[in-house]
């Protein structure tokens, strides 16, 4: 297990804490850690003991005041109150701390050229409609049309035919369909790669939007001067037999939010060119876009084998 120094990581707390006080604090840590010794599940024991050490180290590091402890409890209580079947404030909290992304990193070990994973987010829906290859995921959602195409291969470069691709995205107003509070299904679909492992569909050119910021997590971001905005992106979840399921997004090259995504989801390898096209540029499938400018992008996806990570 990682050892946690008794002295301060910030340098704040060590000064002025007597040897007697330090010994008392450390004794409490060891007593609480030992209270988990008899846990029958070894993994649970490991997790709880490590969590105890880290939580106590934090309290001692910042010399947490009782007033601050009360604020923290009030914050968590408010997060609980706003959480329901549709709103998950605790996941948002994990997201803005980068803990969701760290968990993604730990669980998606790098493997050759395998496409990198990123945060799942709260707006996936299980029952998105099936579209044909080349179909339209927008369901009438407002925004600029975008042609998305690419391939799905395994880590050895073999095309994966029949791979399942789930895609979802916000509209140009910055909302996912599920945020409108009606029954609309828009900006999401699933499709399968063709016999060559290729896929293509019409979506929307991604635009930036804020994570839900009308709750305690939003207040926290405001208090620390951080923006709730996410860099423009399009979500993918890709699965194929024998391969590790990939949850990821692609981001838009040139987006000014790339280096300050509110949930730390951006990876260099996931930034793609979305090439702007004028209204009179011929579309790849001959579709008439009724005079709209559009964009196009390519995302070639490589899946790691299932046994890895
Ligand atoms: C999203 O990309 O949909 C998202 C991710 C994390 C928090 C909120 C939204
Ligand atoms: Fe999103």
The predicted structure's pLDDT at residue 12: 45
pLDDT in tens, 135-176: 999 999 999 999 999 999 999 999 999 999 999 999 999 999
* 177 and 51 assigned to the same domain: no
Question: Is the pLDDT confidence value at 203 over 70?
Answer: yes
The total of other beta-carbon atoms located within 10 Å of residue 191's CB is 22
CA dihedral (214, 218, 220, 226) positive or negative: negative
* 23 and 154 assigned to the same domain: no
Please tell me whether residue 297 adopts helix, strand or coil conformation.
strand
* 236 and 101 assigned to the same domain: yes
* 289 and 150 assigned to the same domain: yes
What secondary structure letter does DSSP report for 88?
-
Mean pLDDT, to the nearest integer, of 109-114? 93
Ligand 1 centroid, distance to 288 Cα (angstroms): 32
* 69 and 104 assigned to the same domain: no
Question: Is the pLDDT confidence value at 309 over 50?
Answer: no
Q: Is 230 in the pocket of ligand 1 (CB under 6 A)?
A: yes
| DSSP secondary structure letters along 247-275 | EEEEEETT-TTGGG-TT----GGGEE--E
* 126 and 271 assigned to the same domain: yes
* 116 and 244 assigned to the same domain: yes
List the beta bridge partners of residue 235.
168, 249
Question: Is the pLDDT confidence value at 5 over 80?
Answer: no
Q: Is 104 in the pocket of ligand 1 (CB under 6 A)?
A: no
Q: Is 186 in the pocket of ligand 1 (CB under 6 A)?
A: no
Q: Is 95 in the pocket of ligand 1 (CB under 6 A)?
A: yes
Token pair in block for residue 25: 């604090």
Show which of 34, 68, 87 is a domain's final residue.
Answer: 87
1 occurs within a structural domain:
no
**66/62 Cα distance (integer angstroms):** 12
The predicted structure's pLDDT at residue 86: 80
The predicted structure's pLDDT at residue 6: 56
Q: What percent of the chain has pLDDT over 70?
A: 94
197 occurs within a structural domain:
yes
Rg of the Cα trace of the chain?
23
**158/135 Cα distance (integer angstroms):** 25
Give the angle subtended at the CA of 14 by the CAs of 12 and 16, to the nearest 5°: 95
78 occurs within a structural domain:
yes
Question: Is the pLDDT confidence value at 54 over 70?
Answer: yes
* 197 and 150 assigned to the same domain: yes
pLDDT in tens, 9-35: 554 445 689 999 999 999 999 999 999
Question: Is the pLDDT confidence value at 247 over 70?
Answer: yes
pLDDT in tens, 284-308: 999 999 999 999 999 999 999 997 5
Domain that includes residue 195, residue range: 94-303
Nearest Cα neighbor of 191 from 236, 142, 154, 244 is 236
Q: How many domains does the chain have?
A: 2
* 233 and 106 assigned to the same domain: yes
Q: Is 152 within 8 Å of 159 (Cβ atoms)?
A: yes
**Residue 176 sits in a domain of what CATH number?**
2.60.130.10
* 119 and 268 assigned to the same domain: yes
161 occurs within a structural domain:
yes
Question: Residue 89: CB partners within 8 Å, gap ≥ 6?
Answer: 78, 79, 80, 82, 83, 215, 216, 217
Ligand 2 centroid, distance to 121 Cα (angstroms): 6
Pocket perturbation via mutation, ligand 1, pick of 97, 221, 263 by most ligand atoms within 8 A of CB: 263
Q: What is the mean pLDDT of the chain?
A: 94
E strands within 162-303? 164-168, 188-192, 198-204, 209-210, 229-230, 233-239, 246-252, 271-272, 275-277, 294-298, 301-303
Show which of 37, 63, 87 is a domain's final residue.
Answer: 87
Question: Is the pLDDT confidence value at 229 over 60?
Answer: yes
Question: Is the pLDDT confidence value at 1 over 70?
Answer: no
309 occurs within a structural domain:
no
* 145 and 233 assigned to the same domain: yes
3 occurs within a structural domain:
no
């Amino acid at each position: 297990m990682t050892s946690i120094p008794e002295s301060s990581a910030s340098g704040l707390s060590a000064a002025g804490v007597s040897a007697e006080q330090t010994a008392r604090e450390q004794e409490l840590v060891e007593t609480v850690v030992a209270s988990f010794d008899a846990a029958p599940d070894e993994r649970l024991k490991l997790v709880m003991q490590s969590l105890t050490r880290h939580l106590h180290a934090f309290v001692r590091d910042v010399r947490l005041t009782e007033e601050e402890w009360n604020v923290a409890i009030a914050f968590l209580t408010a997060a609980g109150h706003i959480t329901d079947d549709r709103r998950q404030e605790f996941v948002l909290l994990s997201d803005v701390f980068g803990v969701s992304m760290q968990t993604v990193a730990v669980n998606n070990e790098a493997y050759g050229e395998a496409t990198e994973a990123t945060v799942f987010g709260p707006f996936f829906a299980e029952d998105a409609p099936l579209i044909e290859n080349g179909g339209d995921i927008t369901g009438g959602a407002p925004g600029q049309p975008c042609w998305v195409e690419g391939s799905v291969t395994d880590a050895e470069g073999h095309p994966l035919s029949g791979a399942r691709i789930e895609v979802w995205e916000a509209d140009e107003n910055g909302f996912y369909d599920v945020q409108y509070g009606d029954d609309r299904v828009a900006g999401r679909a699933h499709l399968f790669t063709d016999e060559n492992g290729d896929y293509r569909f019409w979506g929307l050119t991604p635009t930036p939007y804020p994570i839900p910021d009308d709750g305690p997590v939003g207040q926290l971001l405001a208090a620390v001067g951080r923006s709730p905005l996410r860099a423009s992106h399009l979500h993918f979840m890709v699965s194929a037999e024998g391969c590790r399921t990939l949850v990821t997004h692609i981001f838009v090259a040139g987006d000014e939010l790339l280096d300050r995504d509110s949930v730390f989801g951006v990876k260099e390898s996931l930034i793609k060119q979305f090439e702007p096209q004028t209204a009179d540029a011929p579309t790849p499938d001959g579709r008439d876009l009724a005079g709209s400018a559009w964009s196009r992008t390519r995302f070639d996806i490589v899946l790691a084998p299932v046994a890895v990570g």
